């Protein structure tokens, strides 16, 4: 299963229904909302029963694919029209951080070998991407220990940022490679 936030929905749509290494790709779109993002994806996991979940989000200030390692039990929400920030936990009783068992450094290296700029990243921020990543890692820990959970951030599309953006073809190629590598790692 691959889940995506808008505006990388184009990647999801292009992969939805494809088969990679005998695995069918299901690519639902995820609402950019704190609690709903986790509930939508965990419900999809319950319904589809995938072996892995790869979530993808937009990192507007990056120029490369970021393969995330750690989900933090931290949210940073703005209030007062962005003048003040409120910090809270994703899971009130959860651990401070959860680490994916996906080989993120290796995956980033393999993406670079394919000619696409990529790096391992040690945390997925404090916005909804991290919220979802942490929520899925917590779900794995408590309900589905065999599930592989991965989160990848992509840069803006070239059409959004001509200087620092990446083409949709490069992003899609990188995501396909991540899926392939995670599936190979499981065998």
Active site residues: 68, 129, 153
Q: Which residues pair with 3 in a beta bridge?
A: 55
**Per-residue DSSP letter, 6:** T
Contact 179, 23 (CB under 8 A): yes
Q: Is 10 helix (H, G, I), strand (E, B) or coil?
A: helix
Q: Which residues pair with 166 in a beta bridge?
A: 157
CA 157 to chain centre: 17
Contact 129, 52 (CB under 8 A): no
């Amino acid at each position: 299963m691959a889940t995506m936030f808008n505006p990388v929905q184009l990647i999801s749509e292009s992969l939805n229904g494809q088969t990679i290494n005998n695995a069918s790709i299901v690519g639902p779109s995820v609402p950019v909302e704190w609690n709903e993002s986790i509930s939508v994806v965990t419900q999809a996991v319950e319904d589809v029963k995938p072996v892995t979940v790869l979530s993808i989000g937009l990192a507007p200030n990056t120029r490369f694919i970021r393969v995330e390692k750690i989900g933090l039990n931290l949210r940073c929400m703005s209030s007062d029209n962005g003048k003040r920030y409120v910090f809270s936990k994703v899971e009130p009783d959860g651990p401070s951080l959860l680490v994916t068992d996906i080989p993120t450094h290796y995956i980033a290296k393999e993406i670079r070998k394919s000619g696409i700029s990529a790096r391992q990243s040690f945390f997925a921020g404090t916005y909804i991407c991290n919220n979802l990543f942490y929520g899925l890692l917590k779900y794995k820990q408590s309900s589905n220990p065999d599930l592989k959970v991965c989160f990848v951030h992509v840069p803006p599309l070239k059409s959004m940022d001509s200087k620092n953006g990446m083409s949709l073809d490069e992003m899609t190629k990188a995501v396909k490679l991540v899926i392939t590598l995670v599936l190979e790692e499981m065998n």
